[in-house]
Chain A
């Protein structure tokens, strides 16, 4: 089935989200839609899935024009979508989730669960999507939940499958497994539209690439194009993808400036989200914490700033125990904090850029004196920061919510770096940030290190960790699996991220990569635990490194992927 979009235009008020986009998806191809956040990829796919109506343009299916008024029409036409945030009911089983919205009944309205189970099993076997139809979705790791979404689409006979940023929540190994599934779907003649902004993945899997910038198609490419070329197309200028930095200029015997000792932090349900974590950071050194989203990194960062109570352990900065201090005291002690979700935790969208630039300094001279704020000082500060950090905004009075993601992040970074720091903690410092702003933010972080500050970077993007960190700590289920030097291989870190200790004999045989479409029976599969409703296969089963973690923590993993 070939799908053509012709001249699709979509406007939201004065904003043109899609501007005359042409796109052709051929049968049996993996078509990558590459673009920065906010380039209009998701809008385009939502139009294709019937969630938005285009203002202009046509959608052609096998040459016939198609009107899609809602997801129902899209599904009927053979278009399936896997959203970035899964649309699953956690307390239902896999089979129940799959039948949801398309319930087949027997006599007297009884749900035909047996048939649903059979269908799930058939699809799983056919495309190598290993999943237990009777497992509760809440108990499944994120990667398997994603498979359930794919099965849902396939069971409705989707011949064009849209995957919206599917790898954002996966470990490198899970990503490889997803790619294997995608290849087997391609061989079965199904088409896939793969939305992403990660260049490596595009090169690994795409047959053809369409690059979108500011709502318009700016070019097409083949996977043999270099990453720099693709990034250039995506951003519209030449970019450097590597971070320029000298190795850390600290000797290993410098006493640490910041230490976390045996830290345990509980999540809302009373489980240990951070479980006995210890590490040191020396002045002038960047420690990067790698890990799949939802393995306790958020809680760790929040505990360091004091937003979350510490159940056990200590946090020490420059010899001073901060464990019992309030966030305000810690900020005063010189912690600069860039939270992972800027809109949720760092910015007030309706307030001006100027006000957001003093959000945690508002009551300190020169901005605030004896209960009164000095508007002139605040504005002068704003003009200076906007200039220094190259924040692209119409004016300093513009509500910060009107800025692009990258510029919003620059506001946060500018604020946190505009006072003398003794420690910088930055979680996902470049999430949802365009490549240009990313370059800039990385440069500033390294500059902060070179001033002799300890820096803690928490990121789920391995590229970012490799680019910035002087040492890498890998977190898995609340524990630090290992702290390794930055020249450690990607595979090694990937295994740690999945909870396996590569050097141990148990872990070594576990996670072979099911690459190359060598069939569904991976070795991870053979390790499948048989406990009732337990987590299924995936490289996670290689978690014979075990830790006795329960299903509940997997739920936590899944939740971690959701924005609130």
Chain B
């Protein structure tokens, strides 16, 4: 992690942990630095999720009906409901001992988690990067749709071997998103139009354009009764990494490359230095001779490009079976990406961790629904609660009686809005 993510890192490992290592760690936790708040937020969200699981479990609620006669029943029924559900979650997300007869089966949960996490990594990086430049990119939906449209079009029209077709399709998606995001930055720089308003409106434009295109002559798959585009050519699809029966695909490698790029950009490039300065103090940036408008345009361009890659991984990856555009291609990822970036505190490494967590919740949620009969919506609630607690660090510190230092991530969001 970089010196930029210093608040997280410094307090955790910044000093040589020689004397009284454990005691020092305890003191640091008690001080309630951001990373502790994040961990506690996840715990709290799981706790609230547990209450909801109990409330939605028929046996448990029935047992609560005669709580005062036999409290033991309701407690054990609650415990059963929660432990079954969360065990299913872990089985779906990490490892399932009941179906681990082959290596492939044993790896399947991890593969699912990684597959779900891939678009979230791109999206989280995109939103996080914009945050660092003081911009709130709420237009991920639009940018990823534009990326998906571009990548699909190249994917089914360009008839070439994979070494050409795949990079071309990826670049098209990158470019589609970048232009759509860059437009927002350019408008802001030239006219002062607030990026939140503009991106929200452009989301509609992209969404409706998508609806039009998949019904149009140029895109529509004639063999399919549903309004779905033609599938992209085999050559343009992201290959599976570990055999066809595991969904994890080369999009993950692309995502990890994007993480390295984003880290370098933010922490080692002159452009990133400019972006961060513009984001943290536009007046100081201007006084130091930087162009605030250029910085904002570049930030939205790159952010949009990363969002375009979300579209790429949706279309060319394994998220949908037919590798084609549908009206639901966005899967709400443009918004989930915002929560991932918030949880990851807008740092590239933090974003990977947050995306993995959300990917795991998503993958595990399906198993939870299948095996424990708990609605997958609980997962969405837990994700929302995590972000809510992270955004309200004072609440978490209050609950756990931590002393508190700094203000946590709320400032991050506020900066985005102030733009």
Contact = CB atoms under 8 A, between A and B. Distances in A.
A326 B291 CA distance: 9
A261 to B, nearest CB: 24
Interface string A304-323: 01010000000000000000
A390 interface: no
A359 B286 CA distance: 10
Contact of B277 (A351, A372, A397, A399): A351
Contacts, number: 76
B32 to A, nearest CB: 11
Interface size class, chain A: 20 to 34
Contacts of B269: 371-373
A13 B10 CA distance: 18
B280 interface: yes
B142 to A, nearest CB: 29
Contact of A339 (B6, B268, B277, B287): B287
Contacts of A371: 269-271
B6 A399 contact: yes
A347 B281 contact: yes
Given A362-B274, A375-B268, A328 B290 contact: yes
A346 interface: yes
A341 to B, nearest CB: 9
Interface in A314-365: 326-332, 337, 339, 344-352, 355, 359-360, 362-363
B6 A346 contact: no
B273 A331 contact: no
A353 to B, nearest CB: 11
Nearest to B289: A328
B13 to A, nearest CB: 14
B284 interface: yes
B403 interface: yes
Contact of B270 (A337, A339, A363): A363
A71 interface: no
A368 interface: yes
A431 to B, nearest CB: 16
A375 to B, nearest CB: 7
A345 B270 contact: no
Interface size class, chain B: 20 to 34
B237 interface: no
A301 to B, nearest CB: 10
B3 interface: yes
Nearest to B286: A307
A552 B405 CA distance: 43
A84 B186 CA distance: 40
Given A337-B287, A348-B284, A359 B405 contact: no
Given A13-B403, A348-B280, A399-B6, A327 B289 contact: yes
A362 B287 contact: no
Contacts of B6: 352, 397, 399
Contact of A351 (B10, B268, B280, B291): B280
Given A307-B287, A337-B287, A373 B277 contact: no
Interface string B257-297: 00000000000111101101100110110111111000000
B280 A349 contact: yes
Contact of B284 (A328, A346, A399): A346
Contacts of A327: 286-289
B287 A13 contact: no
Contacts of B291: 326, 328
A345 B285 CA distance: 8
Contacts of A349: 280-281
B268 A359 contact: no
A331 B270 contact: no
B288 A360 contact: yes
Given A327-B289, A328-B289, A397-B6, A345 B271 contact: no
Interface string A362-380: 1100001001110100000
Given A13-B403, A360-B289, A397-B3, A373 B284 contact: no
Nearest to B279: A348
B405 A372 contact: no
11 contacts: A13-B405, A327-B286, A327-B288, A330-B289, A331-B289, A339-B287, A351-B277, A359-B284, A362-B270, A362-B273, A397-B10
Top 10 A-B pairs ranked by shortest CB distance?
Answer: A328-B289, A360-B288, A363-B270, A368-B270, A359-B288, A348-B280, A331-B289, A327-B289, A345-B287, A348-B281
Interface of A: 13, 305, 307, 326-332, 337, 339, 344-352, 355, 359-360, 362-363, 368, 371-373, 375, 397, 399
Given A351-B277, A351-B280, 5 more contacts: A345-B283, A345-B286, A345-B287, A359-B277, A372-B270
Interface of B: 3, 6, 10, 268-271, 273-274, 276-277, 280-281, 283-284, 286-291, 403-405
